[in-house]
Structure 1
């Protein structure tokens, strides 16, 4: 149990015990007799047990972390699940600045990454079709440099500015492919909190322009292979939340932001802390 959960448990348990005691005293004051004559010890034990159970119930982490906002009218949800099963929402897919796509042997793109799953589940493993769609989406975007083949033996060579968003798919379900990390010549992706914040800001702009205010689902970008080492997964979730709420204060970007975590990751995060953070925004 986390420190916040312990505080909630203790506070709620004492509050419940106080209510029980007040009711018992009120009964005795009105009727001038004990509610359970001769069983004061048993009543106290039952009251204590009930209070503890109530506190535990109140301190139990929720099955999802949610909050609805009135201005602008939108909803944020942090849920366990499968990103690609969010059929009612546009999806966010993280890429590097060269938009590499090949997961063969995990040399360039890790086979277990969201990006590799995107290729497999949304493009049926058709690498050529995905690359063609990316070329079309990026046709109007300027490159910032081109890597020499001698410096990068595998993969693509054109570098795009960090924060570039390639919008794939159809209007009913777009895929926002955002470049939030730099791919080195040694095929190692790296990012930072500053780069992630900038990339998220560009992402919200693209979502506003192309998303039609439909729900948006995304993973915890930068939590693993992008090596944002200064932040743990929970800190990255907080950064995403803060970035989205800040951007939404200016203009409505989407009716719902849904951050989807793998069930095992969702079980590890401190949901009470995230709920408290979300309520503070």
Structure 2
């Protein structure tokens, strides 16, 4: 409702009385700023009060004069100077936001954490600016403003405690930031904020980046992680191979002992290379063969070549190791690859994950950065290529995986610029919003 300024002041004055009757003389002093006059001279001022009361009653109950009068009642107070007219605002708690706010907060401060968090968030959502801002600084408003501000402060601090108790420091953080902003000298608020930030940093652990794939009908995260691929024990793993799927590491002649393939043999197959070879042979049965080298041309290692992009899902302990061929092992035993070969391999990898991945998280190393020699891309560009191909695959395969983890070794991190990946996600989110 649009009310005249004086009528707004009258309403706020009656609200500040918190259900008590306010004499006309008091209203004239507080709302109009008029000094008391002898009773036989103040009739005109009384008429002004009555005029505003009538306007307020019509606003409170449009077209219902009797209802408006029952909400804003006229009463007679007995004073030493005789009877005096007074007005009382009669509202149920649910009809007055400050009363509802008080009731919700009072109940929530005694409730267990889950209930408290829900009710306190509801109460704080009602707050817009300072209470009774229309009469800021007026003496009659000070008690109510002070009480509401105190309740608001208690609600914010208890909401922080409740969210922490529920293990949701990320929801407590913006509330704690607001408290610290409003109370820059409050050492306890500063300590609470520092503690929440430290807790959230610790939660990330080795995570370097985490983003939700910006697709409205999927919940898939992309995570960049500092660590060891083979420590991801809850994941399917991706391991790069050459087109011959060699695993021989003797004397570092065919496959380097430092390679991911060699670690795969040692970490997941306890050094039993032939067990891995048997699983690879089983997976390669029926796969297209593009050629077979002679013993003379390739005296060491395997001689059957498969197309680049060939992917074998190797089962082990209830998960899969996806062996992906994205490099060509020359007869000189040097692996060579390119960004085009890597992209082809990734496209085939995601198709295989969609069929054989059991909808588990997938962990992939920074393939292409090591002995496969994808030299035309730096490490940051390799990460971006992996992420881009994965996001494209999410459009083709709706139930691909709940999470992709790109695992970067600590010694590679300093040479890996992740800005391009962050920029890519920003572009994708902006593009999705534009489409919406």
TM-score by length of 2: 0.49
**Which residue number corresponds to residue 106 of structure 1?**
252
1:280 shift after superposition: 2.2
In structure 2, the residue corresponding to 1:64 is in which secondary structure? strand
Q: Tell me, what secondary structure is at the counterpart of 1:264?
A: helix
More helix by share: 2
Q: Does 1:66 align with 2:210?
A: yes
Residue-by-residue CA offset, 1:58-82 (whole Å, 9 max, x unaligned): xxxx951110134332000011011
Larger mean CA deviation between 133-142 and 168-177 belongs to 168-177
**1: CA distance between counterparts of 2:426 and 2:323?**
29
Q: Which runs of 4+ in 1 moved over 3 A?
A: none
What is the CA–CA distance in structure 1 between the aligned matches of 2:415 and 2:288, rounded to whole Å?
A: 40
Deviations 1:17-67 (A, max 9, x none): xxxxxxxxxxxxx99xxxxxxxxxxxxxxxxxxxxxxxxx9xxxx951110
- Consecutive unaligned residues of structure 2, counting only runs of 5 or more, are 1-135, 138-196, 198-205, 429-436
How far off its partner does 1:272 sit?
3.8
Distance 1:273 1:181 in 2: 25
Pick aligned residue for 1:134 from 268, 271, 280: 280
What aligned pairs does 1:51-90 form with structure 2 within 5 A after superposition? 63-69=207-213, 70-71=215-216, 72-90=218-236
Paired with 1:278 and 1:182, the residues of 2 have a C-alpha distance of: 32
Asked if 2 retains the 8 angstrom alpha-carbon contact of 1:142 and 1:160, the reply is yes
Q: Any conservation in 1 of the 2:380–2:418 contact (CA below 8 Å)?
A: no
Number of matched pairs: 225
- Could you tell which deviates more after superposition, 267-276 or 130-139? 267-276
1:275 aligns to 2:422 (yes or no) = yes
- The CA deviation at 1:251 is 2.1
Deviation at 1:247, TM superposition (A): 1.2
- CA deviations over 1:153-203 (Å, ceiling 9, x no partner): 100000011111111124731000000000000000001111111110000
Distance 2:370 2:313 in 1: 23
Rg: which structure is higher?
A: 2
Distance 2:245 2:328 in 1: 10
| 1:81 and 1:261 in contact (8 A); partners too | yes
**Contact 1:65 1:274 (C-alpha < 8 Å) held by counterparts:** no
Structure 1-normalised TM-score? 0.75
Q: Which residue of 2 aligns with 1:184?
A: 330
On the 8 A contact 1:171/1:210 being kept in 2, the answer is: no
> Matched residue of 2:256: which SS?
coil
1:238 offset after TM fit, Å? 0.6
Structure 2 counterpart SS, 1:181: strand
The question of 1:196 aligning with 2:342 is answered yes
1:251 to 397, 400, 405: 397
- Ranked by relative contact order (alpha carbons within 8 Å, sequence separation 6 or more), the top structure is 1
Residues 110, 116 of structure 1: 8 Å contact kept: yes
Going from structure 1 to structure 2, the CA distance change for 1:245 and 1:261 (only over 3 Å counts) comes to same
Q: 2-side partners of 1:94 and 1:119: how far apart? A: 13
Which of residues 193, 201, 210 in structure 1 aligns to 2:356?
Answer: 210
**In 2: Cα distance, 1:164 partner to 1:179 partner:** 5
Which piece of structure 1 moves more, 267-276 or 236-245? 267-276
List gaps (5 residues or longer) in structure 1: 1-29, 32-56
2-structure distance, mates of 1:273, 1:235: 7
Q: More deviation in 265-274 or 198-207?
A: 265-274
